Amino acid sequence: MELSQPSDESRVLVIYTGGTIGMLVGQQGYVPVPYFLTETLRSQKRFHDPFQDSLFSNAASVEGYREWSSMTPRSSVPGGTGSKRIRYAILEWNPLLDSSNIEIDDWIRIATEIELNYASFDAFVVLHGTDTMSYTSSALSFLLEDLGKTVIVSGAQIPLSQLRNDAVDNLMGALSIAGHYIIPECSLFFNHTLFRGNRVSKASSYDLNAFNSPNFPPLVNVGIDIVVNWNDVIRQTSLRRFRAYKPTLRLFPGITAATVRAFLMPPIRGVVLETYGAGNAPQRADLMESLKEACNRGVVIVAISQCAKGSVSDAYETGRTLLQTGVVAGGDMTPECALTKLSYLLSKQDLSVPEVRDLIGTPLRGELT
């Protein structure tokens, strides 16, 4: 049921899964502390207006809760003509997860929480650890079909508990964009930039500019003004539960056919093959035969480039030979995107193997150039 709300108010659900953004410094380094993030935001006027009526709660639930845990002051978008109060609730996971422990079931949980709360909120922000953030944003881009609202994944390199941090800018930026703009796709916001969720990879473990999108421009740039590149924003297409085997095989000099053959044995149904350059692989007959045998058994093998910037093509003979075995070209998809797209397609039981192979090369969420 839709909840009535003032026209100058935007409601955002913040799903806090864990990650550096809400950690404290302990004896063993950064550690997650339950409810620390929510309590800290409630104590800061930039994130919580004490003069507005709001209900604060530490409740955690798969379905979230319909009451508001905190409220931002009325905010004006720099360079914009409108002004909206962004009212947001925080749904905190218990326990909080380190992003290196994120699994497919967690992607499904996030998608389900968005689905269950879809009618009550105008937009969604997912707070997440940076290590696997781009995998989650890619997965959600395929899970969230027929999306008509903004979904932003964000986090921080330095936690909110530190005096000097990037948590404030990242969270405020994500909330501001989610509260003021309808960008109906899953995106990732970091360091003043909003990226398409399935086009981004983590590039640095220590820079604040931790993510990049080498093959697709940003959707939004935040500076003195918030500039939305509307020409690059696409309209997306029900939430489906998906499960699939999801390994990645990276080619390296000297890799043996026995290694490849063992990797491709049942129950493997799909593999992302990270090739050299523009889709090249060693031209050894035993290696090509191992790949061909797997493809003939119905294993879907997607070839992408090991290069951060580039695309798989048949420009070279070594690339054409690889594709002739039945391997599918993954174009300029990132490893994270190729992995999650393959998992998503293999989970759809109504699709045959040939149909999955065809859809790998078909843009579904703007993931291919």
Q: Are 277 and 310 in contact (CB under 8 A)?
A: yes
> Strands 123-127 and 29-32: what pairing?
unpaired
Half-sphere exposure of 15 (CA within 13 A, CB side): 28
Sign of CA dihedral 279, 283, 284, 289: positive
In terms of DSSP H, where are the helices of the chain? 36-43, 104-116, 133-143, 167-180, 257-263, 285-296, 317-324, 335-347, 353-360
Residues identified as active-site: 20, 130
> Is the Cα dihedral 317, 260, 101, 31 positive or negative?
negative
Instruction: Tell me phi and psi for residue 356, to 5 degrees.
Output: -60, -45
Q: At CA 178, angle to CA 44 and CA 50, rounded to 5?
A: 25
Identify the CA nearest to 97 among candidates 136, 142, 63.
136
